[in-house]
Structure 1
C-alpha cells in the first residue's frame, strides 16, 4: 500500500466528470486510497483527488472516534435525497485549510457497487450522508467552492490562494 499525492485545487482534473468503472481490478487502488485518506486525516477521498478519473470513492466517517467503518463505493448513484436541507461547514483534502458552509440534504439513498462486485442500496443520514454527497460531487467535477455564491466563492478562493502561494 502507498500514500498517494492528493491533487490540490485549482488542478483542472478536479473539475472533470469521471468515467464509469467497468470491470477493473481496484483492490490495490482502494487500499492506497484508504491509506492516503487516513494519512491525510480525512474521512473521505474520491479517485479524481488522486488523479484517477473513475467513479469511485472511499470513506470512513467514524475512524476519528476510534471505530473504523471503511466503505468503498464504485459507480455510486444518489437515488433519492431528503427535501429538507442542512447547512454545515465542510473541508476538503484538495482545498486544505479552508472550511465553507455548504447546504445539502440531510439524508440520501445511495446505490453502489462494492469492491467484491455486489450491488448495494442503503439510506444514509447525518455526517455519512454529507460525506457521500461531498465525494459524489468530486466524481462530477465539483468542489465545495461550486456550492457558494459568486461573492462567497471569490472570497474563499482568494483566502485559499493567499495561504498557498
Structure 2
C-alpha cells in the first residue's frame, strides 16, 4: 500500500532506515536520517510511505521538482523490510513511477555504488544508469546517476 507520508511517519521511520541508506544519505548530503527525511517530506511534490502486506513500512519516497513539469529528483529511503518485500515493492512502485513520469518526463537522481539493493531495485523499475561519478557529495563517494522516462 502507498499513502501520503506525514511528519509522524517520518519520526517513526527514521530509526528504522536501512544502514546502507543511512550511509548513502550521510555520504551524499551529509545529513542524518531524520533531517534527510524531513527535507524530503517538505520539498517533495508528493512524499509517500510504502507498507507491505504484513504491515511493515518498506520505505519513504518522493519526487522533488528540479524543473517544474519536466525533471524531478526521485528518492527512496528504505527499511530492512525491502529485502522481504521486493516483488510487492516493484509492483506498486512501477504504478507510482508511471504517475510521476506523467508529471515529470525525466525522473533522475544518483545512487551510491555501494547500495546494491537499490541498484537492483532501480534496474527492475526501468531506470537506466549513466557513467559513474567519483568523489561525489560530502563523503566524496562513487555514485551512479540514473534516469527513467515514460
The answer to whether the superposition gives a TM-score over 0.5 is: no
Structure 1 or 2, whichever has the larger Rg, is 1
Which TM-score applies when normalising by structure 2? 0.27
Which TM-score applies when normalising by structure 1? 0.25
Could you say which structure has the higher helix fraction? 2
